[in-house]
């Protein structure tokens, strides 16, 4: 019965009696030898082949080659120190196995690196093969978990894309070249050499070497320029010519004024007089531009001539007053003046020219130049300051003496007159013409009008260059009017109007 009062089974009582039997011999240390060699011999006998008469069987240990290391010499056989038996001859080592397929104990027969294990004796239990663990090596970060089985080649990065082909730089356009007409170029250089002298009190009167302007209104294209002459460039004198381009009003009623003035040669303030003439005639036209624009569009030529004559007289009256303020003779402070009035109305092709003094007006039509303002013949000196008009010329004798009526009595000069009589006043020029498509109207100062009349090669060259219907650009136009001609070194100022 157990401690809890239960009655044990019969088999349990038998087990307890055997365990605590006092007659059973006590277990203790065995008298048989129990060393490491004894246990090795016992294991060898159990695993060896059949009965060999009690002789020990040699045990062959097959090393596993490491694919990362060169092949090592075979390990020596381990035998029992108690028994001496002839060892089995070893085969010569063969070439190392490939790194990708290491040899295992279950290799095919005839492997050069390992000998086949001895066959188990009949009736002995089969020996399970010992699993071999493949050699492990530290894996590189870029290798796959399966390990590297050979030299690894990485693809080279793609080459950078080739830069786009750069087209060849175009040749720079040819610059306008200032040429010359005639057999040889003029004596002076074509480019400016010296600047005019200046002082602290006359900086307002300085003028640039070149002035260039242009515009397009209605059916016409305007190009205008004023260039210092070769002689003035060489001597460091100021440009005596003046140029004014201005627009008054807006829309179709707008009026464009182009004024060209040239100072007297040899006068110290010639460039100032020319600038004053352009400024004052411009102010007069600006104050009357509405009436002038209506007269031009309506074709009232009589009203235009009388009105513009008055404006011109007022301008020259101011020049004389300015000469008196400066203490100069009126002839020393004056300028030739030529003007063009152009309507911005596309339906109006009337072009009005007016002025006085040196200069000219030319028209290129059908490839030929026409002089619209020819030079008047020199007028004889008389005892009157006014030019001869009407029948006054018929009253002169063969020798040029002025006769009184028909009395045939010569009148002596008055005793109070000294020196030659004064020069007659410059005549007033006026012309209103209707332009045709393809015409080119050229307004010139004296320095450009003289070679146009005296050098046929210059007029022919300009006609050839301006024969196209497309007007030249500003740089080309500037080069055209600077065509140099030997013997003509004055300032060149002109305005050209191309009709579409």
- pLDDT classification of 264: cutoffs 50, 70, 90: confident
SS (H, E, C) the chain: CCCCCCCCCHHHHHHHHHHCCCCCCCCCCCCCCCCHHHHHHHHHHHHCCCCCCCCCCCECCCCCCCCCCCCCCCCCCECCCCCCCCCCCCCCCCCCCCCCCCCCCCCCCCCCCCCCCCCCCCCCCCCCCCCCCCCCCCCCCCCCCCCCCCCCCCCCCCCCCCCCCCCCCCCCCCCCCCCEECCCCCCCCCCCCCCCCCCCCCHHHCCCCEEEEEEEECCEEEEEEEECCHHHHHHCCCCCEEEEEEEECCHHHCEEEEEEEEECCCCCCHHHHHHHHHHHHHHHHHHCHHHHHHHHHHCCHHHHHHHHHHHHHHHHHHHHHHHHHCCCCHHHCCEEEEEEEEECCCCCCEEEEEEECCCEEEEEECCEEEECCCCCCCCCCCCCCCCCCCCHHHHECCCCCEECCCCCCECCCCCCCCCCCCCCCCCCEEEEEECCCCCEEEEECHHHHHHHHHCHHHHHHHHHHCCCCCCCCHHHHHHHHCCEECCECCCEEEEEEEEC
- pLDDT tens column, 316-341: 999 999 999 999 999 899 999 999 99
Residue 177's pLDDT is: 75
Distances from the Cα of 463 to the Cα of 224, 457, 497, angstroms: 17, 10, 14
Mean of the per-residue pLDDT values for the chain? 76
Exposure string over 56-87, b if 16+ CB within 10 A, otherwise e: bbbebebeebebeeeeeebeeeeebeeeeeee
Res 346 pLDDT > 70: yes
- Which tokens is 448 given? 């450009």
Per-residue pLDDT band at 89 (split at 50, 70, 90): very low
Least confident of 26-35, 405-414, 456-465: 405-414
Arithmetic mean of pLDDT, 88-101: 50
pLDDT confidence tier of residue 109, bands split at 50, 70 and 90: very low
Mean pLDDT on 288-315: 94
pLDDT reported for residue 131 = 56
Percent of the chain with pLDDT over 70: 62
Higher-confidence residue of 488 and 74: namely 488
pLDDT band at 380 (very low <50, low <70, confident <90, very high): very low
What pLDDT is attached to residue 392? Answer: 37
Q: Calculate mean pLDDT across residues 288-292.
A: 95
CA-to-CA distance for 88 and 66, rounded, in angstroms?
A: 24
pTM beyond cutoff 0.75: no
Percent of the chain with pLDDT over 90: 43
Residue 140 has pLDDT above 70, yes or no: no
Candidate from 9-18, 83-92, 133-142, 226-235 with smallest mean pLDDT: 83-92
**Poorest-pLDDT segment among 66-70, 172-176, 199-203:** 66-70
What is the pLDDT averaged over residues 83-87? 47
- Residue with the bigger pLDDT between 160 and 19: it is 160
In this model, does residue 121 exceed pLDDT 70? Answer: no
Task: Name the band, by pLDDT with cuts 50, 70 and 90, for residue 185.
Answer: confident
pLDDT of residue 381: 40
Residues 6+ apart with CB under 8 A from 157: none
How much is the pLDDT for 186? 79
- 128 vs 477 pLDDT, higher one: 477
Q: Which of 207, 211, 212 is nearest to 196 (CA)?
A: 207
* pLDDT over 60 at 375, yes or no: yes
Confidence of residue 273 (pLDDT cuts 50, 70, 90): very high
| Res 347: pLDDT | 94
**Separation between Cα atoms, residue 452 and residue 135, nearest integer Å:** 108
């Amino acid at each position: 019965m157990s401690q809890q009062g239960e009655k044990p089974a019969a088999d349990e009582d038998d087990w307890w009696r055997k365990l605590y039997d006092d007659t059973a011999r006590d277990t203790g240390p065995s008298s048989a030898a129990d060393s490491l060699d004894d246990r090795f011999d016992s294991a060898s006998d159990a695993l060896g082949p059949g009965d060999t008469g009690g002789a020990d069987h040699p045990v062959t240990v097959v090393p596993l080659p490491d694919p990362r290391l060169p092949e090592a010499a075979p390990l020596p056989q381990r035998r029992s120190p108690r028994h001496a038996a002839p060892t089995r001859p070893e085969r010569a080592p063969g070439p190392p196995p490939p790194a990708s397929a290491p040899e295992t104990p279950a290799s095919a027969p005839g492997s050069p690196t390992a000998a086949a294990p001895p066959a188990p004796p009949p009736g002995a239990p089969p020996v399970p093969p010992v699993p071999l663990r493949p050699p492990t090596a530290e894996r590189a970060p870029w290798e796959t978990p399966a390990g590297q089985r050979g030299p690894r080649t990485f693809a080279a990065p793609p080459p950078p894309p080739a830069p786009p082909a750069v087209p060849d730089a175009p040749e720079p356009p040819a610059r306008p070249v200032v040429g010359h007409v005639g057999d040889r170029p003029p004596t002076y250089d074509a480019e400016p050499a010296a600047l005019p002298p200046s002082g602290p009190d006359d900086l307002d009167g300085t003028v640039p070497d070149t002035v260039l302007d242009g515009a397009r209104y209605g059916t016409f294209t305007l190009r205008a320029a004023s260039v210092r002459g070769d002689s003035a460039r060489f001597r460091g004198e100021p440009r005596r010519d003046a140029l004014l381009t201005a627009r008054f009003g807006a829309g179709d009623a707008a009026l464009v004024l182009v004024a060209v003035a040239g100072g007297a040669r040899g006068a110290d303030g010639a460039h100032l007089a020319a600038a004053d003439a352009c400024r004052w005639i411009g102010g007069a036209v600006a104050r009357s531009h509405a009436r002038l624009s209506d007269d031009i569009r309506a074709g009232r030529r009589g009203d235009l001539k009388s009105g513009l004559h008055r404006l011109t007289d007022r301008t020259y009256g101011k020049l004389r007053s300015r000469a008196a303020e400066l203490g100069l003779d009126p002839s020393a402070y004056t300028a030739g003046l030529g003007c063009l009035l152009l309507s911005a109305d596309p339906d109006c092709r009337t072009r009005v020219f007016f002025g006085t003094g040196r200069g000219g007006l030319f028209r290129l039509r059908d490839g030929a130049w026409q002089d619209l303002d020819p030079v008047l013949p020199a007028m004889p000196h008389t005892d009157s300051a006014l030019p001869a008009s009407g029948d006054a010329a018929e009253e002169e004798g063969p020798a040029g003496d002025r006769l009184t009526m028909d009395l045939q009595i010569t009148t002596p000069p008055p005793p109070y007159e000294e020196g030659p009589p004064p020069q007659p006043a410059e005549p007033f020029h006026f012309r209103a013409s209707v332009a045709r498509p393809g015409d080119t109207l050229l307004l010139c100062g004296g320095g450009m009008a003289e070679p146009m009349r005296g050098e046929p090669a210059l007029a022919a060259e300009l006609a050839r260059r301006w024969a196209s219907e497309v007007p030249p650009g500003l740089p080309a136009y500037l080069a055209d009017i600077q065509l140099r001609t030997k013997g003509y070194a004055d300032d060149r100022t002109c305005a050209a109007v191309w009709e579409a």
